[in-house]
Structures are given as C-alpha cells and as structure tokens.
C-alpha cells in the first residue's frame, strides 16, 4: 500500500507495533510455523523485478523464509523510511474531513485518509482459565513467540489447543521435550502437507506456471485454489470421488469444494475418509478416536496442513489429554489441573488462537463522523460494505476487512486486490475533486445481507469457528469473511468502481461544491 501511495505522489506514514516488518510472519515464530499455501502462490505479483529475483526453497515456506521475503520487499522498495516501528496506534478520530491518528508514543498525526492494514489474525487470545497468571514455569502464546526461540529439551511441556498453530508446533516440540501433554478440547481435520524442497528452476515465483496461477487464484470462485468454481444453492449428490481430495497433498485440499460446503452427505463421506486416515496412522485406538473430529463438518473450520501431526501421538513421550471428558479446572504454579488429574509442567504453550478479523480494529478507539465509535457501531455485529469501508467512517479503508474473502483466500492475492482497489479509488477521488468517500447505509445493508445469505447456503455457520467469532465469549455470532468466491467478489469491486463508486457517497471539495451549485 505504501509503495502504491508513493507511486501516486502521495505522502504516507505507516505505524507498526512490531520492531520490524512481516506482520503475521514477524509475530508467529513458534516451532514448525510455515505457510499452508504454496510458496509459489504466496508471492507478490506487483513487481516483475521482484518476481525475477526471489526464489523459494520449499513448497510450503517456513516462517523464517517468509519473514526474509517481507524484509527483502521492504528493502527492495525502500519502504522503511516511512514506517514508524515499535509504535502502536491507540486511536483514530474523524473530524472536519480529516483523521487524527494517535499512537502510544504520543503522536497525533493528521491525514485525509486512514487505511487499516491491521491483519485478520493479529490479536492473540489467552483463555480465561483460573490461575493463568500464577504458573511458575515459562508460558508462551504461539502468536507472540520469543525471537530467540525456545529450547524445550528435557522439559515437561503442555500445549493447550489443537488448531493450526498447535498442529504445526506439536510435532517439533515433541522431538525436544522430555514429556509433552496435548490438552485437546476439539479435534481438527488435518491433511499431510507433503512439503518438499524446490529446485532453483522451480522456486521462482516468476516461473510460467506460478505466474499464471496467481491471477487465476484471484479470480477463483472459492477461496484458495485457482480452479474456478461457483457456489451452488442446491447440493449435488455425494460422490465416490470426494475422498480423492483427501489424498491430494497440502493446500489444494484446503479449499473445500462447493459440494463439500453445501452437501452434508458429501461432507460426511470426505470427513469419514480423513477419520479413517487418522485411525490408520495412530496406533492406540482410544487416542485415534479422540483425534478424529466428529463435532463439525470438514472444511467448516480451517483445514490444517501438517507434517507428522498424527504420527506424533505414537511417540512414548506424548500424551493426549481429552478436555471433553475432564475440563481444565485451573492452572497452578506447578502445572495444570483438570477435573481428573494434575499435570506437572515446566512450560506451557497457549495455541489458543486470535480475536479474529475485528479484534485489532476494535482494540483501537476508532471514532467516525458524529462522534460514533466503531465499537458502538459493531456492538451487535460487524457491518461493512465490501469489507472495504463502513458507513459513518468516511475516508477509512480496511485492507482484507471483515465482509471480504480475506481469511478464506490466499491473503497475498487478496491484499494486492484491495491495495489496488484503494489506490485506484484515491486516484479517482483526486482527479474528480472529491474530498470524502463513505459507504452508504443502503449499500452496506445490502452487502451485509448478501454476505450472510451466502454463508447460510453452506455448512459453515453450523461450526463453532473463529470465522463466526465463536471462540470469543460475548462476541456477536456473525460469519465474518465473504464466502461467495474471490472471483465474484473481485468482479463486484471492479463493477462498483467502474460505476463511479456505486454504493459510496462522494462529497466534492468545498470550492468545487460551490462551483457546481452555481452551475
């Protein structure tokens, strides 16, 4: 976004809470962290030179390599000089056609436009467990991992949670720890990554197949894979071919096909196939049964991509603790107590997720026109137009905001799409003498209704997922990302722009307003 704004000749200031660039890949340094989208697709396409010079070394890039990529991009385009690091934005208020952005360093910066690039999974969440502050050992959250790394050698370690972060870190921690206890409340579907090194010939995002794949990614109907598909309103028959998806490696399996999302019968077939794979890997039948998800349909929570996760439970030093049978009662100075047992621990890992999509926005005190706060506006559930703006907050944009495909898509591709749309919009406003742009309430209402209707066509709302805010006590239950497909979504955004930003209220600059009134 900064690069595009500079290209438009605009001045911009970026505020970043971290000490360096990278976002998710700066904070999430837990052992085993890697992308679950193939590296070749997880690359920027805005610069031909960048594509020529970068080479990935693995099919699914590990966190340190993606962080190096982010640093390379920042250096390559000289971005750091306009970024204030170690600076957290505490609030932003709109008054007299300008935003004032305040930071924890005492800045109060005035700007015509404010763009939130705060990420979808950037506010970590610790569970409310009695005694959580009294643990005498070392405690870590996967989303705020120490930069120097953690050596678990010889330790008794507990991991709370079995989502994507846990499923990636558990196999690595198990190799170090003397004893590993995995505290599981809900098992998750996971498929093997089948990660592999990429040869120099195949590691460049500029290879013809990778370069060709990215635009397709951005136009696909459903989320991550590049193959165009459309959501159907009527489910088709379950197909014997469905389990084939489970045999394919990695990210292609991450994008559930429409039939899996709409037909319970087809979904059950695929889910049973994956459960069968788990039973074939895990030797102890009781542990295998506990690891096999039955409480949600496959794909209605993010499907995890793992390297040796289920195999890890065959190790002598790994114990699965079923919290459904015996919930956690307290964390004690010496470890953790469930209803049935005490577990002595030296270290505790919270792989307990994030206040997704709205958490980082609502953590700031954002006040729109008329003094209304975003927290107040979204108290009963978030409302946006296209996930790009929200009515009552002029000139405030959100990159991959709630109500856009965001977390259901390849984030790099969706970030580029939003950056381009916002940059083009700002150029349009300038060339047309427009001072303010704001989502109209009518367009927002229609979009919210459409986002909800699309979600209701699928099995998604039936799962207690973070997509719905179900992991945060008291959070309104709203399906936050747009499930209608990235291709449909992109076309909608393009069409809105082509029609002079239909659904947005545009306010001319005062002098132009007077001239146009006189005419």
- Please enumerate in sequence order all residues whose Cβ is within 8 A of that of 292, keeping only pairs 6 or more positions apart, or say none: 187, 275, 278, 279
* Rounded-to-10 torsion of CA 491, 208, 57, 222: 30
Q: Is 247 helix (H, G, I), strand (E, B) or coil?
A: helix
Of 8-16, 158-166, 372-380, 497-505, the window that binds ligand N01 (rule: CB under 6 A) is 158-166
Backbone torsion region of residue 31, taken as left when φ is above 0, otherwise alpha when ψ lies between -120 and 50, otherwise beta: beta
Least distance to ligand N01, CB of residue 324, Å: 9
Cβ closest to ligand N01, residue 290 vs residue 439:
290
Cβ closest to ligand N01, residue 160 vs residue 274:
160
Residue 471, interface with ligand N01 (CB under 6 A)?
yes
Cβ closest to ligand N01, residue 121 vs residue 226:
121
Residue 352, interface with ligand N01 (CB under 6 A)?
yes
What is the Cβ-side half-sphere exposure of residue 456, based on CA atoms within 13 angstroms?
8
User: Among residues 462, 430, 473, which one has the least CA distance to residue 298?
Assistant: 462
Residue 129 CA to chain centroid, in angstroms? 25
Least distance to ligand N01, CB of residue 511, Å: 48
**Phi and psi (nearest 5°) for 283?**
-70, -40
Show the tokens assigned to 187: 């098992």
Contact 401, 478 (CB under 8 A): no
Residue 345, interface with ligand N01 (CB under 6 A)?
no
Contact 150, 138 (CB under 8 A): yes
Return d(Cα 336, Cα 217) in angstroms, integer.
44
User: Among residues 2, 101, 9, 1, which one has the least CA distance to residue 430?
Assistant: 9
Cβ closest to ligand N01, residue 91 vs residue 131:
131
Residue 166, interface with ligand N01 (CB under 6 A)?
yes
Looking only at residues 117 through 136 of this chain, which bind ligand N01 when binding is defined by CB under 6 A?
121, 127, 129
Least distance to ligand N01, CB of residue 436, Å: 35
Q: Give the DSSP H/E element, type plus range, for residue 367.
A: strand 365-367
Cβ closest to ligand N01, residue 160 vs residue 364:
160
Contact 176, 151 (CB under 8 A): yes
Cβ closest to ligand N01, residue 35 vs residue 423:
35
Q: Pick from 16, 36, 322, 436 the residue near ligand N01 by CB under 6 A.
A: 36
- Please enumerate in sequence order all residues whose Cβ is within 8 A of that of 175, keeping only pairs 6 or more positions apart, or say none: none
Cβ closest to ligand N01, residue 69 vs residue 504:
69
Q: Give the DSSP H/E element, type plus range, for residue 275.
A: helix 264-281
Residue 163, interface with ligand N01 (CB under 6 A)?
yes
Least distance to ligand N01, CB of residue 328, Å: 6
Looking only at residues 377 through 416 of this chain, which bind ligand N01 when binding is defined by CB under 6 A?
407
Rounded (5°) CA angle 300-255-419:
105
Cβ closest to ligand N01, residue 186 vs residue 317:
186
Return d(Cα 119, Cα 117) in angstroms, integer.
6
Cβ closest to ligand N01, residue 173 vs residue 391:
173
Return d(Cα 139, Cα 353) in angstroms, integer.
15
Return d(Cα 269, Cα 299) in angstroms, integer.
13
Q: Pick from 35, 271, 331, 493 the residue near ligand N01 by CB under 6 A.
A: 35
Q: Pick from 67, 180, 318, 351 the residue near ligand N01 by CB under 6 A.
A: 351
Q: Pick from 22, 23, 158, 161 the residue near ligand N01 by CB under 6 A.
A: 161
Site string for ligand N01, 288-327 (x = CB under 6 A): --------------x--x-----------------x----
Contact 176, 153 (CB under 8 A): yes
Site string for ligand N01, 224-263 (x = CB under 6 A): ----------------------------------------
Q: Is 395 helix (H, G, I), strand (E, B) or coil?
A: coil
Least distance to ligand N01, CB of residue 30, Å: 8
Residue 169, interface with ligand N01 (CB under 6 A)?
no
User: Among residues 121, 151, 85, 118, which one has the least CA distance to residue 1?
Assistant: 118
Site string for ligand N01, 184-223 (x = CB under 6 A): -xx-------------------------------------
Least distance to ligand N01, CB of residue 302, Å: 3
Least distance to ligand N01, CB of residue 168, Å: 6
Looking only at residues 437 through 466 of this chain, which bind ligand N01 when binding is defined by CB under 6 A?
466
Q: Is 414 helix (H, G, I), strand (E, B) or coil?
A: helix
Q: Pick from 51, 165, 221, 253 the residue near ligand N01 by CB under 6 A.
A: 165
Q: Interface residues with ligand N01 (CB under 6 A)?
A: 35-36, 121, 127, 129, 142, 160-166, 168, 183, 185-186, 302, 305, 323, 328, 351-354, 407, 466, 471
């Amino acid at each position: 976004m900064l690069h595009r704004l500079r290209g438009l000749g605009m001045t911009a200031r970026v505020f970043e809470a971290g000490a360096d660039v990278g976002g998710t890949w700066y904070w999430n340094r837990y052992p085993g962290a890697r992308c679950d989208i193939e590296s070749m697709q997880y690359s920027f396409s805005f610069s031909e030179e960048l594509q020529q010079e970068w080479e990935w070394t693995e099919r699914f890039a590990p966190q340190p390599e993606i962080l190096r990529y982010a640093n390379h991009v920042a250096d390559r385009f000289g971005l750091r000089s306009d970024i204030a690091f170690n600076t957290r934005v505490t609030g932003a208020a709109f008054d007299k056609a300008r935003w004032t952005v305040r930071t924890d360093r005492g800045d109060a910066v005035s700007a015509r436009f404010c763009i939130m690039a705060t990420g979808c999974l950037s506010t970590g969440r610790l569970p409310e467990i009695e005694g959580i502050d009294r643990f005498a050992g070392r405690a870590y959250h996967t989303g705020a991992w120490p930069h120097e790394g953690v050596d678990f050698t010889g330790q008794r370690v507990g991991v709370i949670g079995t989502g994507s972060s846990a499923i990636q870190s558990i196999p690595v921690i198990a190799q170090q720890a003397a004893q590993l206890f995995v505290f599981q409340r809900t098992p998750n579907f996971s498929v093997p990554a089948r990660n592999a090194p990429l040869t120099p010939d195949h590691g460049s995002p500029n290879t013809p197949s990778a370069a060709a794949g990215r635009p397709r990614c951005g136009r696909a109907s459903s989320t991550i894979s590049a193959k165009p598909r459309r959501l159907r309103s009527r489910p088709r028959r379950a197909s014997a071919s469905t389990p084939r998806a489970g045999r394919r490696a990695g990210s292609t399996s991450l994008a559930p096909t429409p039939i899996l999302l709409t037909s319970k019968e087809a979904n059950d077939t695929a889910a049973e196939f994956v459960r069968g794979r788990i039973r074939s890997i895990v030797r102890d039948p009781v542990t295998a049964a506990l690891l096999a998800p039955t409480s949600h349909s496959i794909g209605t929570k993010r499907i995890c991509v793992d390297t040796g996760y289920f195999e890890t439970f065959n190790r002598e030093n790994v114990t699965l603790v079923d919290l459904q049978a015996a919930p956690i009662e307290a964390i004690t100075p010496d470890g953790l107590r469930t209803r049935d047992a005490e577990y002595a621990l030296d270290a505790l890992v919270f792989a307990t997720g994030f206040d997704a999509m709205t958490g980082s926005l609502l953590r700031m005190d954002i006040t729109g026109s008329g003094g209304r706060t975003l927290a107040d506006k979204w108290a009963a559930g978030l409302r946006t137009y296209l996930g790009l703006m929200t009515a009552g907050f002029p000139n405030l944009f959100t990159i991959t905001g709630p109500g856009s495909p965001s977390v259901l898509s390849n984030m790099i591709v969706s970030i580029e799409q939003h950056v381009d749309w916002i940059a083009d919009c700002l150029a349009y406003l300038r060339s047309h003498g427009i001072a303010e742009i704001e989502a109209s309430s009518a367009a927002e209402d229609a979009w919210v209704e459409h986002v909800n209707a699309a979600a209701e066509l699928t099995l998604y709302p039936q799962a207690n997922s973070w997509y719905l805010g179900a992991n945060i006590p008291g959070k309104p239950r709203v399906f936050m990302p747009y499930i209608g497909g990235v291709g449909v979504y992109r076309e909608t955004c393009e069409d809105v722009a082509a029609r002079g930003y239909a659904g947005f209220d545009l306010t001319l600059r005062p002098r132009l307003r007077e001239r146009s009134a006189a005419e």
